[in-house]
Structure 1
Amino acid sequence: MSSYKDKKVISIGIVSDLTGLSLRKIRYYEERGLLSPGRTEKGGRKYSFSDVETLMKIAERREEGVQTAEIKKELVKDISRQKVRDEMIKGQLNAQFGLRKR
């Protein structure tokens, strides 16, 4: 079951309003592989709350002068760490309560 934060339901215009980033910058970050919006049937971009948080992190790092290639490496590391944490928590729950992994 995915979190509400991961559902792709927000239009690019709203994301721009929320983040203060131009549509052009948001598209550029997508082109650089920093995030992957969903698509509507007509090809419009749809973003999640998690995507908005990622864009805010990207904007902060860019303001610090960090290049997009380095930001991409950081994002990949963050995802890997989160997966490891999730697996550890599942293992701990299984050990503590005898729950099966799904």
Structure 2
Amino acid sequence: MSSYKDNKVITIGVVSELTGLSERQIRYYEERKLIFPIRSNGKTRKYSFNDVERLVDIANKIEDGIGTFEILKTEKKEKSKEETRNRMLRGQINAAFKIRK
């Protein structure tokens, strides 16, 4: 079940007001594949509360001098580590319960 924070219902203007980012900055982060809004039938971008939090985090990293490429690179590395941990955990659980694939 998804949380209300996952619902993409917020327009770019409201996101801009909430984050202090310009609409252009928000679109730039989308172009850089850091944020993924959905599009309504009228092609309006829609964001979630999680997206708003993510944009604030991105803006803080940019302010600290971290570039968008470095943000993506770090996130990919973290995702890879998490996937490796999950595979290892599944293997340990399978071994403990003698589950064979």
Aligned equivalents of 1:82 and 1:68: distance in 2?
21
What percentage of aligned pairs have identical amino acids? 56
Which has the greater radius of gyration?
Answer: 2
Pairs aligned (count)? 88
RMSD over equivalenced CA pairs, Å: 2.2
Tell me what 1:33 maps to.
Answer: 33
TM-score, normalised relative to structure 1: 0.74
Return closer, same or farther for 1:80/1:38 CA change in 2, 3 Å cut-off. farther
Aligned equivalents of 2:44 and 2:16: distance in 1?
14
Question: Structure 1 regions of 5+ residues with no counterpart?
Answer: 92-102
Mapping for residues 1-102 of structure 1, pairs under 5 Å: 1-77=1-77
CA deviation after TM superposition for structure 1 residue 73, in Å: 2.4
Runs of 4+ in 1 over 4 A off after TM superposition: 77-85
Aligned equivalents of 2:47 and 2:67: distance in 1?
23
Equivalent position amino acid for 1:32 in 2: R
SS of residue paired to 1:27:
helix
Aligned equivalents of 1:20 and 1:37: distance in 2?
18
